A and B are shown apart, each in its own frame.
Chain A
Amino acid sequence: MSGSFLPERASGRRSWTPGERLTGRLPDPAPDPSAPTIGVLALQGDVIEHVRALHRCGANVVQVRSAGDIAAVDGLVVPGGESTTIGKLLERFGLLHPLQERIAGGLPVFGTCAGMILLSDELDQDRPQPLLGGLHVRTRRNAFGGQRDSFDTRIEVDGIDGGPIDVAFIRAPRVEAVLADDVEVLAEVRGFPVVVRQGPLLAAAFHPEVTGDDRLHAAFVATVRGAAGFAPSGTAT
Protein backbone atom coordinates (compact mmCIF):
# COMPACT_ATOMS: atom_id res chain seq x y z
CA MET A 1 0.00 0.00 0.00
CA SER A 2 2.90 2.31 -0.49
CA GLY A 3 1.87 5.75 -1.63
CA SER A 4 -1.37 5.97 0.30
CA PHE A 5 -1.36 8.36 3.18
CA LEU A 6 -3.01 7.06 6.33
CA PRO A 7 -3.02 9.71 9.01
CA GLU A 8 -2.13 8.31 12.39
CA ARG A 9 -1.18 9.81 15.68
CA ALA A 10 2.51 9.67 16.31
CA SER A 11 3.21 6.72 18.55
CA GLY A 12 4.90 7.07 21.90
CA ARG A 13 4.60 9.91 24.33
CA ARG A 14 6.91 12.78 23.58
CA SER A 15 8.97 13.79 26.49
CA TRP A 16 10.84 17.01 26.92
CA THR A 17 12.60 19.10 29.45
CA PRO A 18 11.52 22.65 30.22
CA GLY A 19 12.92 24.92 27.56
CA GLU A 20 13.25 22.30 24.86
CA ARG A 21 9.65 22.49 23.75
CA LEU A 22 10.04 25.57 21.57
CA THR A 23 12.32 23.85 19.13
CA GLY A 24 10.96 20.42 19.41
CA ARG A 25 13.33 18.11 21.07
CA LEU A 26 16.99 17.78 20.26
CA PRO A 27 17.38 14.18 19.18
CA ASP A 28 19.14 11.99 21.72
CA PRO A 29 22.20 10.22 20.39
CA ALA A 30 21.53 6.54 19.67
CA PRO A 31 22.09 4.45 22.83
CA ASP A 32 25.65 3.14 23.02
CA PRO A 33 25.74 -0.35 24.57
CA SER A 34 29.41 0.10 25.42
CA ALA A 35 28.67 3.19 27.55
CA PRO A 36 27.09 3.45 30.99
CA THR A 37 23.69 5.02 31.59
CA ILE A 38 23.69 8.05 33.81
CA GLY A 39 20.52 9.50 35.32
CA VAL A 40 20.03 13.23 35.76
CA LEU A 41 17.67 14.03 38.62
CA ALA A 42 15.01 16.03 36.76
CA LEU A 43 12.73 17.43 39.46
CA GLN A 44 13.86 21.05 39.07
CA GLY A 45 16.93 23.00 38.01
CA ASP A 46 19.38 23.10 35.11
CA VAL A 47 18.73 19.54 33.99
CA ILE A 48 19.20 19.98 30.26
CA GLU A 49 22.68 21.49 30.64
CA HIS A 50 23.82 18.32 32.45
CA VAL A 51 22.10 16.06 29.92
CA ARG A 52 24.02 17.76 27.11
CA ALA A 53 27.35 17.69 28.97
CA LEU A 54 26.95 13.94 29.67
CA HIS A 55 26.05 13.25 26.05
CA ARG A 56 29.18 15.12 24.97
CA CYS A 57 31.16 12.84 27.31
CA GLY A 58 29.75 9.74 25.62
CA ALA A 59 27.29 8.53 28.29
CA ASN A 60 23.72 7.36 27.77
CA VAL A 61 21.42 9.67 29.72
CA VAL A 62 18.00 9.22 31.29
CA GLN A 63 16.03 11.76 33.28
CA VAL A 64 15.02 10.59 36.75
CA ARG A 65 11.62 11.74 38.01
CA SER A 66 10.31 8.68 39.84
CA ALA A 67 11.58 5.70 41.80
CA GLY A 68 11.00 3.52 38.74
CA ASP A 69 13.64 5.47 36.81
CA ILE A 70 16.40 4.65 39.29
CA ALA A 71 16.90 0.94 38.62
CA ALA A 72 18.41 1.43 35.16
CA VAL A 73 21.09 3.96 36.09
CA ASP A 74 24.80 3.26 36.64
CA GLY A 75 25.39 6.75 38.00
CA LEU A 76 23.44 9.87 38.91
CA VAL A 77 23.88 13.62 38.50
CA VAL A 78 22.12 15.93 40.94
CA PRO A 79 21.88 19.25 39.07
CA GLY A 80 21.96 22.87 40.09
CA GLY A 81 18.66 24.35 41.17
CA GLU A 82 17.00 25.22 44.45
CA SER A 83 18.04 22.61 47.03
CA THR A 84 14.98 23.13 49.26
CA THR A 85 12.66 22.56 46.29
CA ILE A 86 14.51 19.50 44.99
CA GLY A 87 14.72 18.02 48.51
CA LYS A 88 11.00 18.42 49.14
CA LEU A 89 10.14 16.91 45.76
CA LEU A 90 12.49 13.96 46.43
CA GLU A 91 10.45 13.30 49.55
CA ARG A 92 7.02 13.85 48.00
CA PHE A 93 7.68 11.69 44.96
CA GLY A 94 9.14 8.82 47.00
CA LEU A 95 12.67 9.14 45.61
CA LEU A 96 14.57 10.04 48.78
CA HIS A 97 14.87 6.60 50.39
CA PRO A 98 15.42 4.58 47.20
CA LEU A 99 18.22 6.96 46.20
CA GLN A 100 19.75 6.88 49.69
CA GLU A 101 19.83 3.08 49.43
CA ARG A 102 21.51 3.20 46.01
CA ILE A 103 24.07 5.72 47.32
CA ALA A 104 24.78 3.50 50.34
CA GLY A 105 25.26 0.65 47.86
CA GLY A 106 28.02 2.56 46.06
CA LEU A 107 26.16 4.38 43.27
CA PRO A 108 28.45 7.04 41.77
CA VAL A 109 26.86 10.49 42.14
CA PHE A 110 27.99 13.92 40.91
CA GLY A 111 26.32 16.94 42.48
CA THR A 112 26.76 20.56 41.41
CA CYS A 113 25.72 23.51 43.62
CA ALA A 114 22.28 22.40 44.91
CA GLY A 115 23.51 18.87 44.16
CA MET A 116 26.46 19.36 46.52
CA ILE A 117 24.07 20.57 49.23
CA LEU A 118 21.79 17.56 48.75
CA LEU A 119 24.69 15.09 48.92
CA SER A 120 26.01 16.56 52.18
CA ASP A 121 25.50 14.74 55.47
CA GLU A 122 24.99 18.02 57.35
CA LEU A 123 24.05 21.63 56.66
CA ASP A 124 25.27 24.67 58.50
CA GLN A 125 21.78 26.00 59.26
CA ASP A 126 19.07 25.60 61.91
CA ARG A 127 16.26 25.02 59.46
CA PRO A 128 15.98 21.34 58.54
CA GLN A 129 15.54 20.34 54.89
CA PRO A 130 15.50 16.90 53.26
CA LEU A 131 18.95 15.70 52.13
CA LEU A 132 20.22 12.64 50.29
CA GLY A 133 23.43 12.66 52.33
CA GLY A 134 26.28 10.20 51.95
CA LEU A 135 29.05 12.74 51.49
CA HIS A 136 30.69 13.29 54.88
CA VAL A 137 30.85 17.08 54.87
CA ARG A 138 29.02 19.97 56.47
CA THR A 139 27.96 22.47 53.82
CA ARG A 140 26.76 26.04 54.03
CA ARG A 141 24.17 27.30 51.56
CA ASN A 142 24.56 30.69 49.88
CA ALA A 143 27.98 30.81 51.54
CA PHE A 144 29.36 33.58 49.32
CA GLY A 145 26.23 35.76 49.66
CA GLY A 146 23.24 36.54 47.47
CA GLN A 147 23.07 36.99 43.71
CA ARG A 148 25.05 40.25 43.74
CA ASP A 149 28.00 38.21 45.04
CA SER A 150 27.68 35.48 42.40
CA PHE A 151 30.86 35.30 40.34
CA ASP A 152 32.71 33.78 37.40
CA THR A 153 36.21 32.49 37.94
CA ARG A 154 38.77 29.91 36.85
CA ILE A 155 40.06 27.33 39.28
CA GLU A 156 42.61 24.53 39.31
CA VAL A 157 41.13 21.20 40.35
CA ASP A 158 43.43 18.38 41.53
CA GLY A 159 43.36 15.50 39.09
CA ILE A 160 41.91 17.59 36.24
CA ASP A 161 44.56 18.22 33.59
CA GLY A 162 44.68 20.98 31.04
CA GLY A 163 44.75 24.08 33.21
CA PRO A 164 42.14 25.87 35.29
CA ILE A 165 38.49 25.21 34.60
CA ASP A 166 36.11 28.01 33.79
CA VAL A 167 33.23 28.01 36.29
CA ALA A 168 30.29 30.05 37.58
CA PHE A 169 29.48 30.32 41.29
CA ILE A 170 25.79 31.26 41.53
CA ARG A 171 24.49 31.80 45.08
CA ALA A 172 26.92 28.99 45.68
CA PRO A 173 27.47 26.81 48.73
CA ARG A 174 30.84 25.76 50.13
CA VAL A 175 32.09 23.05 52.43
CA GLU A 176 32.48 24.38 55.97
CA ALA A 177 33.85 21.18 57.50
CA VAL A 178 35.10 17.84 56.26
CA LEU A 179 33.74 15.18 58.63
CA ALA A 180 35.72 12.09 57.61
CA ASP A 181 39.22 11.14 56.45
CA ASP A 182 38.09 9.62 53.17
CA VAL A 183 36.90 13.00 51.82
CA GLU A 184 39.46 14.49 49.41
CA VAL A 185 39.45 18.23 48.81
CA LEU A 186 40.20 18.80 45.11
CA ALA A 187 39.79 22.59 44.97
CA GLU A 188 39.35 25.54 47.27
CA VAL A 189 38.13 29.12 46.89
CA ARG A 190 38.90 31.71 49.55
CA GLY A 191 40.16 28.93 51.82
CA PHE A 192 37.05 26.78 51.65
CA PRO A 193 36.66 23.48 49.79
CA VAL A 194 34.53 23.78 46.65
CA VAL A 195 35.26 20.46 44.95
CA VAL A 196 35.33 17.29 47.06
CA ARG A 197 35.46 13.59 46.29
CA GLN A 198 34.69 10.63 48.51
CA GLY A 199 35.00 7.34 46.68
CA PRO A 200 32.33 7.38 43.94
CA LEU A 201 30.78 10.67 45.16
CA LEU A 202 31.91 13.92 43.53
CA ALA A 203 30.56 17.35 44.44
CA ALA A 204 31.25 20.86 43.16
CA ALA A 205 29.94 24.12 44.60
CA PHE A 206 29.80 25.71 41.13
CA HIS A 207 28.28 24.98 37.74
CA PRO A 208 30.61 23.41 35.21
CA GLU A 209 27.48 22.59 33.20
CA VAL A 210 26.70 26.23 32.36
CA THR A 211 30.18 27.06 31.08
CA GLY A 212 30.62 24.17 28.64
CA ASP A 213 33.88 22.97 30.25
CA ASP A 214 33.16 19.24 30.40
CA ARG A 215 36.27 18.00 32.19
CA LEU A 216 34.57 17.29 35.52
CA HIS A 217 31.73 15.51 33.73
CA ALA A 218 34.29 13.45 31.79
CA ALA A 219 36.02 12.50 35.05
CA PHE A 220 32.67 11.48 36.52
CA VAL A 221 31.74 9.41 33.46
CA ALA A 222 35.12 7.66 33.83
CA THR A 223 34.29 6.90 37.48
CA VAL A 224 30.92 5.46 36.45
CA ARG A 225 32.55 3.35 33.73
CA GLY A 226 34.93 1.88 36.30
CA ALA A 227 32.24 1.27 38.92
CA ALA A 228 29.80 -0.31 36.48
CA GLY A 229 32.41 -2.46 34.75
CA PHE A 230 32.50 -0.69 31.37
CA ALA A 231 35.77 -0.44 29.48
CA PRO A 232 37.37 2.99 29.63
CA SER A 233 36.28 5.17 26.75
CA GLY A 234 38.81 5.73 23.99
CA THR A 235 37.56 9.21 23.29
CA ALA A 236 36.93 10.78 26.69
CA THR A 237 39.67 13.07 27.85
Chain B
Amino acid sequence: MSDTNDTSTGTTRVKRGLADMLKGGVIMDVIDVEQARIAEQAGAVAVMALERVPADIRKDGGVARMSDPEMIDSIVEACSIPVMAKARIGHFVEAQVLQSLGVDYIDESEVLTPADEANHIDKWGFEVPFVCGATNLGEALRRLSEGAAMIRSKGEAGTGNVVEATRHMRSIAGMIRRLATMDEAELYVAAKELQAPIELVRECAETGRLPTVLFTAGGIATPADAAMMMQLGADGVFVGSGIFKSGDPELRARAIVEATTNFEDPAVIAKVSRGLGEAMVGIEISTLPPGEKYADRGW
Protein backbone atom coordinates (compact mmCIF):
# COMPACT_ATOMS: atom_id res chain seq x y z
CA MET B 1 0.00 0.00 0.00
CA SER B 2 1.54 3.26 -1.03
CA ASP B 3 0.58 6.77 -1.94
CA THR B 4 3.95 8.24 -2.76
CA ASN B 5 3.88 7.64 -6.49
CA ASP B 6 4.40 10.12 -9.25
CA THR B 7 1.25 11.29 -10.91
CA SER B 8 0.80 12.93 -14.28
CA THR B 9 -2.11 15.12 -15.31
CA GLY B 10 -3.32 16.07 -18.78
CA THR B 11 -2.19 12.80 -20.37
CA THR B 12 -3.81 11.50 -23.54
CA ARG B 13 -5.11 8.58 -21.50
CA VAL B 14 -7.03 10.69 -18.98
CA LYS B 15 -8.24 13.01 -21.74
CA ARG B 16 -9.60 10.19 -23.87
CA GLY B 17 -10.61 8.34 -20.70
CA LEU B 18 -13.13 10.98 -19.64
CA ALA B 19 -14.80 10.65 -23.04
CA ASP B 20 -14.94 6.87 -22.47
CA MET B 21 -16.86 7.50 -19.25
CA LEU B 22 -19.48 9.51 -21.17
CA LYS B 23 -20.30 6.63 -23.53
CA GLY B 24 -23.93 5.67 -23.83
CA GLY B 25 -24.90 9.07 -22.48
CA VAL B 26 -26.46 12.36 -23.52
CA ILE B 27 -24.70 15.74 -23.31
CA MET B 28 -27.11 18.67 -23.21
CA ASP B 29 -26.73 22.35 -24.14
CA VAL B 30 -27.77 24.60 -21.24
CA ILE B 31 -27.82 28.39 -20.99
CA ASP B 32 -28.35 28.88 -17.24
CA VAL B 33 -28.24 27.18 -13.85
CA GLU B 34 -31.90 26.21 -13.97
CA GLN B 35 -31.47 24.37 -17.27
CA ALA B 36 -28.29 22.72 -15.96
CA ARG B 37 -30.27 21.36 -12.99
CA ILE B 38 -33.01 20.07 -15.30
CA ALA B 39 -30.37 18.37 -17.46
CA GLU B 40 -28.68 16.75 -14.46
CA GLN B 41 -32.02 15.60 -13.05
CA ALA B 42 -32.95 14.11 -16.41
CA GLY B 43 -29.78 12.00 -16.39
CA ALA B 44 -27.42 13.94 -18.67
CA VAL B 45 -23.80 12.71 -18.46
CA ALA B 46 -22.49 16.25 -19.01
CA VAL B 47 -23.71 19.72 -19.93
CA MET B 48 -22.47 22.18 -22.54
CA ALA B 49 -22.59 25.69 -21.07
CA LEU B 50 -23.31 28.39 -23.65
CA GLU B 51 -25.13 31.72 -23.79
CA ARG B 52 -27.38 30.90 -26.71
CA VAL B 53 -28.37 27.53 -28.09
CA PRO B 54 -27.55 27.06 -31.80
CA ALA B 55 -31.17 27.70 -32.89
CA ASP B 56 -30.94 31.20 -31.34
CA ILE B 57 -27.45 31.84 -32.72
CA ARG B 58 -28.92 31.07 -36.13
CA LYS B 59 -31.88 33.40 -35.53
CA ASP B 60 -29.88 36.29 -34.06
CA GLY B 61 -27.03 36.22 -36.56
CA GLY B 62 -23.88 38.26 -35.91
CA VAL B 63 -20.63 36.93 -34.46
CA ALA B 64 -21.02 34.10 -31.94
CA ARG B 65 -18.23 33.90 -29.35
CA MET B 66 -17.20 32.08 -26.16
CA SER B 67 -19.72 32.56 -23.36
CA ASP B 68 -19.33 34.97 -20.45
CA PRO B 69 -16.99 33.40 -17.85
CA GLU B 70 -19.44 34.38 -15.13
CA MET B 71 -22.16 32.31 -16.75
CA ILE B 72 -19.78 29.36 -17.20
CA ASP B 73 -18.64 29.66 -13.56
CA SER B 74 -22.21 29.58 -12.32
CA ILE B 75 -22.86 26.34 -14.18
CA VAL B 76 -19.60 24.74 -13.03
CA GLU B 77 -20.70 25.65 -9.47
CA ALA B 78 -24.21 24.27 -9.88
CA CYS B 79 -23.30 20.93 -11.49
CA SER B 80 -21.73 17.77 -10.16
CA ILE B 81 -21.50 16.32 -13.69
CA PRO B 82 -18.82 17.38 -16.20
CA VAL B 83 -19.21 20.83 -17.77
CA MET B 84 -18.12 21.54 -21.33
CA ALA B 85 -17.87 24.94 -23.03
CA LYS B 86 -17.30 26.13 -26.57
CA ALA B 87 -14.38 28.06 -28.03
CA ARG B 88 -14.31 29.42 -31.57
CA ILE B 89 -12.38 27.40 -34.16
CA GLY B 90 -8.74 28.52 -33.96
CA HIS B 91 -9.31 30.85 -30.98
CA PHE B 92 -6.62 29.51 -28.68
CA VAL B 93 -7.02 32.32 -26.17
CA GLU B 94 -10.69 31.54 -25.63
CA ALA B 95 -9.49 27.97 -25.01
CA GLN B 96 -6.89 29.20 -22.52
CA VAL B 97 -9.61 31.15 -20.70
CA LEU B 98 -11.92 28.13 -20.60
CA GLN B 99 -9.11 25.96 -19.24
CA SER B 100 -8.42 28.50 -16.51
CA LEU B 101 -12.11 28.45 -15.56
CA GLY B 102 -11.81 24.73 -14.88
CA VAL B 103 -14.24 23.38 -17.47
CA ASP B 104 -13.92 19.63 -18.01
CA TYR B 105 -13.95 19.62 -21.83
CA ILE B 106 -13.61 22.30 -24.53
CA ASP B 107 -15.63 22.05 -27.71
CA GLU B 108 -13.76 23.77 -30.56
CA SER B 109 -17.03 24.43 -32.29
CA GLU B 110 -18.26 25.40 -35.74
CA VAL B 111 -21.44 26.68 -34.06
CA LEU B 112 -19.43 29.75 -33.02
CA THR B 113 -17.99 32.06 -35.66
CA PRO B 114 -14.50 30.83 -36.64
CA ALA B 115 -11.58 32.97 -35.44
CA ASP B 116 -9.03 31.47 -37.85
CA GLU B 117 -9.78 30.49 -41.42
CA ALA B 118 -6.82 28.15 -41.82
CA ASN B 119 -5.76 26.77 -38.47
CA HIS B 120 -7.48 24.91 -35.69
CA ILE B 121 -6.20 25.20 -32.11
CA ASP B 122 -3.05 23.22 -31.31
CA LYS B 123 -4.75 21.13 -28.65
CA TRP B 124 -1.70 19.17 -27.44
CA GLY B 125 -0.56 22.09 -25.31
CA PHE B 126 -3.64 22.01 -23.09
CA GLU B 127 -4.31 19.97 -19.93
CA VAL B 128 -8.05 20.10 -20.58
CA PRO B 129 -9.30 17.75 -23.31
CA PHE B 130 -10.99 18.90 -26.53
CA VAL B 131 -13.90 17.60 -28.54
CA CYS B 132 -14.11 18.63 -32.21
CA GLY B 133 -16.70 18.25 -34.93
CA ALA B 134 -16.17 16.32 -38.15
CA THR B 135 -18.17 15.67 -41.29
CA ASN B 136 -15.99 12.81 -42.54
CA LEU B 137 -13.12 10.58 -41.50
CA GLY B 138 -10.34 12.76 -42.87
CA GLU B 139 -11.56 15.73 -40.87
CA ALA B 140 -11.92 13.59 -37.73
CA LEU B 141 -8.35 12.31 -38.06
CA ARG B 142 -6.94 15.80 -38.70
CA ARG B 143 -8.58 16.95 -35.46
CA LEU B 144 -7.10 13.95 -33.62
CA SER B 145 -3.66 14.76 -35.02
CA GLU B 146 -4.04 18.27 -33.57
CA GLY B 147 -4.74 16.71 -30.16
CA ALA B 148 -8.52 16.35 -29.90
CA ALA B 149 -9.51 13.60 -27.43
CA MET B 150 -13.08 13.08 -28.63
CA ILE B 151 -14.88 13.50 -31.95
CA ARG B 152 -18.49 14.33 -32.69
CA SER B 153 -20.31 14.49 -35.98
CA LYS B 154 -21.07 18.09 -36.90
CA GLY B 155 -24.55 17.51 -38.19
CA GLU B 156 -26.26 20.85 -38.70
CA ALA B 157 -26.73 22.46 -35.29
CA GLY B 158 -29.86 24.42 -34.49
CA THR B 159 -31.97 22.92 -37.25
CA GLY B 160 -33.69 20.06 -35.42
CA ASN B 161 -33.05 18.14 -38.62
CA VAL B 162 -31.07 14.94 -38.22
CA VAL B 163 -30.24 14.43 -41.90
CA GLU B 164 -26.77 16.01 -41.79
CA ALA B 165 -25.77 14.07 -38.67
CA THR B 166 -26.85 10.91 -40.47
CA ARG B 167 -24.71 11.84 -43.46
CA HIS B 168 -21.66 12.49 -41.28
CA MET B 169 -22.05 9.32 -39.20
CA ARG B 170 -22.49 7.19 -42.30
CA SER B 171 -19.52 8.87 -43.96
CA ILE B 172 -17.18 8.27 -41.01
CA ALA B 173 -18.35 4.71 -40.33
CA GLY B 174 -18.46 3.78 -44.02
CA MET B 175 -14.92 5.00 -44.66
CA ILE B 176 -13.60 3.07 -41.66
CA ARG B 177 -15.26 -0.08 -42.98
CA ARG B 178 -13.61 0.49 -46.36
CA LEU B 179 -10.20 0.99 -44.74
CA ALA B 180 -10.59 -2.35 -43.01
CA THR B 181 -10.63 -4.08 -46.40
CA MET B 182 -7.47 -2.38 -47.75
CA ASP B 183 -3.95 -3.71 -47.88
CA GLU B 184 -0.94 -1.72 -46.67
CA ALA B 185 -0.18 -0.15 -50.08
CA GLU B 186 -3.78 1.02 -50.44
CA LEU B 187 -3.73 2.56 -46.96
CA TYR B 188 -1.03 5.05 -48.05
CA VAL B 189 -3.26 6.22 -50.89
CA ALA B 190 -6.23 6.38 -48.52
CA ALA B 191 -4.19 8.54 -46.14
CA LYS B 192 -3.31 10.85 -49.02
CA GLU B 193 -6.93 11.11 -50.10
CA LEU B 194 -8.19 11.58 -46.55
CA GLN B 195 -5.46 14.20 -45.94
CA ALA B 196 -4.76 12.47 -42.66
CA PRO B 197 -1.67 10.95 -41.00
CA ILE B 198 -0.96 7.37 -42.11
CA GLU B 199 -0.53 6.21 -38.48
CA LEU B 200 -4.09 7.21 -37.61
CA VAL B 201 -5.45 5.78 -40.87
CA ARG B 202 -3.70 2.49 -40.14
CA GLU B 203 -5.09 2.44 -36.58
CA CYS B 204 -8.63 2.86 -37.90
CA ALA B 205 -8.08 0.09 -40.41
CA GLU B 206 -6.74 -2.28 -37.76
CA THR B 207 -9.28 -1.59 -35.01
CA GLY B 208 -12.28 -0.83 -37.19
CA ARG B 209 -13.08 2.31 -35.26
CA LEU B 210 -11.79 5.76 -34.43
CA PRO B 211 -8.98 5.87 -31.87
CA THR B 212 -11.29 7.93 -29.62
CA VAL B 213 -14.92 8.09 -28.68
CA LEU B 214 -17.28 9.25 -31.45
CA PHE B 215 -20.45 11.09 -30.45
CA THR B 216 -23.18 12.51 -32.67
CA ALA B 217 -24.27 16.14 -32.66
CA GLY B 218 -26.25 18.52 -34.81
CA GLY B 219 -29.99 18.23 -35.29
CA ILE B 220 -31.03 15.57 -32.75
CA ALA B 221 -34.58 16.46 -31.65
CA THR B 222 -36.36 13.23 -30.66
CA PRO B 223 -35.68 9.99 -28.76
CA ALA B 224 -35.83 8.13 -32.07
CA ASP B 225 -33.21 10.48 -33.57
CA ALA B 226 -30.87 9.70 -30.68
CA ALA B 227 -31.42 5.95 -30.95
CA MET B 228 -30.87 6.04 -34.72
CA MET B 229 -27.50 7.76 -34.25
CA MET B 230 -26.54 5.11 -31.69
CA GLN B 231 -27.50 2.34 -34.11
CA LEU B 232 -25.35 4.03 -36.77
CA GLY B 233 -22.38 3.62 -34.44
CA ALA B 234 -22.29 6.69 -32.20
CA ASP B 235 -20.92 6.21 -28.70
CA GLY B 236 -23.29 8.86 -27.35
CA VAL B 237 -25.28 11.95 -28.26
CA PHE B 238 -25.10 15.74 -27.96
CA VAL B 239 -28.46 17.47 -27.92
CA GLY B 240 -28.38 21.22 -28.36
CA SER B 241 -31.49 23.16 -29.17
CA GLY B 242 -33.63 20.02 -29.34
CA ILE B 243 -34.38 19.92 -25.63
CA PHE B 244 -34.83 23.47 -24.40
CA LYS B 245 -36.52 24.62 -27.63
CA SER B 246 -39.22 21.95 -27.23
CA GLY B 247 -42.59 22.12 -25.50
CA ASP B 248 -41.62 20.12 -22.40
CA PRO B 249 -37.84 20.13 -21.91
CA GLU B 250 -37.85 18.06 -18.71
CA LEU B 251 -39.85 15.23 -20.20
CA ARG B 252 -38.00 15.30 -23.52
CA ALA B 253 -34.56 15.33 -21.84
CA ARG B 254 -35.47 12.27 -19.83
CA ALA B 255 -36.94 10.50 -22.85
CA ILE B 256 -33.80 11.09 -24.94
CA VAL B 257 -31.61 9.73 -22.11
CA GLU B 258 -33.72 6.59 -21.83
CA ALA B 259 -33.84 6.07 -25.60
CA THR B 260 -30.04 6.44 -25.81
CA THR B 261 -29.51 3.71 -23.20
CA ASN B 262 -32.06 1.42 -24.87
CA PHE B 263 -31.21 2.35 -28.43
CA GLU B 264 -31.80 -1.18 -29.65
CA ASP B 265 -35.22 -1.59 -28.04
CA PRO B 266 -38.05 -0.07 -30.12
CA ALA B 267 -40.60 -0.85 -27.39
CA VAL B 268 -38.73 1.39 -24.94
CA ILE B 269 -38.26 4.10 -27.57
CA ALA B 270 -42.00 3.98 -28.31
CA LYS B 271 -42.84 4.19 -24.62
CA VAL B 272 -40.63 7.19 -23.90
CA SER B 273 -41.76 8.98 -27.09
CA ARG B 274 -45.40 9.18 -25.94
CA GLY B 275 -46.89 12.54 -25.01
CA LEU B 276 -43.66 14.54 -25.18
CA GLY B 277 -45.40 17.67 -26.41
CA GLU B 278 -44.08 19.64 -29.32
CA ALA B 279 -40.64 18.98 -30.72
CA MET B 280 -38.61 22.01 -31.80
CA VAL B 281 -39.69 23.40 -35.14
CA GLY B 282 -37.15 22.13 -37.62
CA ILE B 283 -35.45 23.70 -40.62
CA GLU B 284 -35.13 21.99 -43.98
CA ILE B 285 -31.41 22.11 -44.79
CA SER B 286 -31.88 23.17 -48.44
CA THR B 287 -33.63 26.36 -47.26
CA LEU B 288 -30.57 27.57 -45.34
CA PRO B 289 -29.10 30.71 -46.95
CA PRO B 290 -25.59 30.31 -48.42
CA GLY B 291 -22.86 30.61 -45.79
CA GLU B 292 -25.14 29.60 -42.95
CA LYS B 293 -24.31 25.94 -43.00
CA TYR B 294 -22.18 25.55 -39.87
CA ALA B 295 -20.83 22.18 -40.99
CA ASP B 296 -18.87 23.97 -43.74
CA ARG B 297 -16.80 25.73 -41.07
CA GLY B 298 -13.57 23.96 -40.15
CA TRP B 299 -10.85 22.62 -42.40
Given A19-B213, A22-B233, A89-B258, A210 and B13 contact (CB-CB distance below 8 Å): yes
CB-CB < 8 A to B209: which residues of A?
19, 22-23
The reply to whether the CB of B125 lies closer than 8 angstroms to some CB of chain A is no
Q: Smallest distance from the beta carbon of B76 to chain A beta carbons, Å?
A: 8
Q: Which of B156-190 contact A (CB under 8 A)?
A: 173, 176-177, 180
Q: Does residue A186 face the partner (Cβ distance < 8 Å to B)? A: yes
A150 on the interface (CB 8 Å rule)?
yes
Supplied contacts A17-B24, A113-B21, A158-B1, 18 more A-B pairs, CB within 8 Å: A15-B264, A19-B23, A19-B233, A22-B177, A22-B209, A23-B176, A47-B23, A47-B24, A84-B81, A85-B44, A88-B43, A92-B258, A146-B104, A147-B82, A148-B128, A152-B7, A168-B14, A171-B21
A58 shortest CB reach to chain B, Å: 23
Per-residue 0/1 for B100-120: is the Cβ within 8 Å of any A Cβ (1 yes, 0 no)?
Answer: 001111000000000000000
Cβ of B22 under 8 Å from chain A: yes
| A13 at the binding interface (Cβ < 8 Å) | yes
User: A150 near B17 (CB under 8 angstroms)?
Assistant: yes
Which range contains the number of B residues in contact with the other chain?
Answer: 35 or more
CB of B145 within 8 Å of the partner chain = no
Please provide the chain A residues from 180 to 207 with a CB less than 8 Å away from any CB of chain B in the complex. 185-191, 207
Known: A44-B24, A147-B105, A155-B2. A19 touches B45 (CB 8 A): no
Q: Is the CB of A23 within 8 A of B9?
A: no
Closest CB of chain A to B144's CB: distance in Å? Answer: 15
* Distance between Cα atoms of A21 and B3 in the complex (Å): 40
Quick one: which of A190-231 are within 8 Å of B by CB?
190-191, 207, 210-211
Once bound together, how far apart are the Cα atoms of A168 and B19, in whole Å?
A: 13
Q: Are B10 and A148 in contact (CB under 8 A)?
A: yes
Nearest chain A CB to B167's CB is how many angstroms away?
16
CB distance from A219 to the nearest CB of B (A): 15
A194 vs B40: C-alpha distance in the bound complex, in angstroms? Answer: 26
Give the residue among A44, A187, A189 with the most B Cβ atoms within 10 A: A44
A interface, over-half SS: loop
Minimum distance in angstroms from A142 CB to a CB of chain B = 7
Give chain B residues whose Cβ lies under 8 Å from the Cβ of A101: none
A136: Cβ under 8 A from any B Cβ = no
Q: Are B21 and A114 in contact (CB under 8 A)?
A: yes
Is B3 a contact of A189 with CB atoms below 8 Å? Answer: yes
Asked if A164 meets B45 with Cβ closer than 8 Å, knowing A18-B23, A22-B208, A80-B21, the reply is: no
Q: Which residues of A contact B21 (CB under 8 A)?
A: 45-46, 80-82, 113-114, 170-171, 207
Nearest opposing residue in chain B for A79, CB measure: B21
Q: C-beta contact mask, B120-162 vs A, less than 8 Å → 1, else 0?
A: 0000000111000000000000000000000000000000000
Q: How many residues in A have their beta carbons less than 8 Å from beta carbons of B?
A: 62
Which of B2, B23, B233, B264 has the most A CB atoms < 10 Å from its CB? B23
Residues of A within 8 Å of B57, CB to CB, are none
Please, how many angstroms separate the alpha-carbon atoms of A43 and B232 in the complex? 18
Bitwise, B26-49 to A at CB < 8 A (1) or not (0) is 000000000000001101111000
Check A69 for interface membership: any CB of B closer than 8 A: no
Residues from chain A with Cβ under 8 Å of B23 in the complex: 18-19, 44-48, 81
Does A154 count as interface, using CB distance less than 8 angstroms? yes
B236 in the interface, Cβ–Cβ < 8 Å? yes
Q: Which of B234-267 contact A (CB under 8 A)?
A: 234-236, 257-258, 261-264
Bound Cα distance A13, B234 (Å): 19
Q: Which of A21, A92, A148, A207 contacts B231 (CB 8 A)?
A: A21
- Shortest Cβ distance from residue A100 to the other chain B in the assembled complex, whole angstroms: 20
- What's the minimum C-beta distance from A197 to chain B, rounded to whole angstroms? 13
Cβ contact within 8 Å between A19 and B14: no
